[in-house]
Structure 1
Amino acid sequence: MPKIVRLSLFKIPDPEMIKEAIQMYNTLAQDAKKDGKNYIQLAQANATYDDPRSEGYSMLARCIFESKEDMDYYDNQDEAHAKIKAHFKGRVGGPPLVIYSDMQ
């Protein structure tokens, strides 16, 4: 079964808030647990270049999961992810753009 690569794009208006979000995402692979074990293969975040083609998206987060089921757990049950979402709720411009696919 192929791994899942997921890209999430965020519209975060404040550069300091972008730095804070990057720090939280960059420790997510260690912070997130499923059945008491780490399950995210990779979690990274970076600021995007300021470019009109970015359409206001200012941060990109990339996560790699072993399976779609792990990604679904991340979305619906993971406490570390819920903490990030709660921390930034109402502070970002709209919902993130999320794209995922099998990793080749």
Structure 2
Amino acid sequence: MSSTKPIQRITLFKIPLAEDQEKLLEIYQKMPLTAKKDGKPYILSVAAGPAFNDQRNQGYTVAVISVFKSEEDMKYYDDECEAHAALKQVAKSVHKGAMMVYFQSVLSNQ
């Protein structure tokens, strides 16, 4: 895979209460501006929202797609980013399960 393609990260949460879902989504909405590396925003984009009520969602209620320029930036997000650390504190207090995968698209249009 090409190392020049962005890293796309998909995170799913099982958060039963709608008000807790909203609390987490409010934090994600600010993440592209509050998450900083070397004093500058570094997340390329974030899309997040409640999952549609569908039998295939396996109980996951919130879906998030975060896009990073590189795997290095994503690792910074996981290990050093203060904004993400604050988000994780809230998420840990409200979720009943979470899953995350990341990848680089093999499609030529991405």
TM-score norm. by structure 2 comes to 0.89
1:78 to 77, 81, 100: 81
Give secondary structure in 2 for the equivalent of 1:81.
Answer: helix
- Which residue of structure 1 aligns with residue 101 of structure 2? 99
Is 2:24–2:90's contact at 8 Å kept on the other side of the alignment? no
Identity of aligned residues (%): 38
Once residues 67 and 84 of structure 1 are traced to their aligned partners in structure 2, the CA distance between those partners, rounded to angstroms, is 21
Query: Structure 2: which amino acid aligns with 1:91?
Result: V
Could you say what the CA RMSD is over the residues aligned between the two structures, in angstroms?
1.0
How many residue pairs get aligned? The number is 103
Query: Structure 2: which amino acid aligns with 1:59?
Result: V
**Where does structure 1 differ by over 4 angstroms across 4 or more consecutive aligned residues?**
none
Once residues 91 and 6 of structure 2 are traced to their aligned partners in structure 1, the CA distance between those partners, rounded to angstroms, is 28
Shift of 1:53: 1.2
- Which residue of structure 2 aligns with residue 18 of structure 1? 21
TM-score norm. by structure 1 comes to 0.93
Give secondary structure in 2 for the equivalent of 1:27.
Answer: helix
Give secondary structure in 1 for the equivalent of 2:90.
Answer: helix
1:31 to 26, 30, 34: 34
Shift of 1:88: 2.6
Identify unmatched segments of 5+ residues in structure 1.
none
Identify unmatched segments of 5+ residues in structure 2.
none
Once residues 2 and 53 of structure 1 are traced to their aligned partners in structure 2, the CA distance between those partners, rounded to angstroms, is 29
- Which residue of structure 2 aligns with residue 48 of structure 1? 51
- Bigger Rg, structure 1 or 2: 2
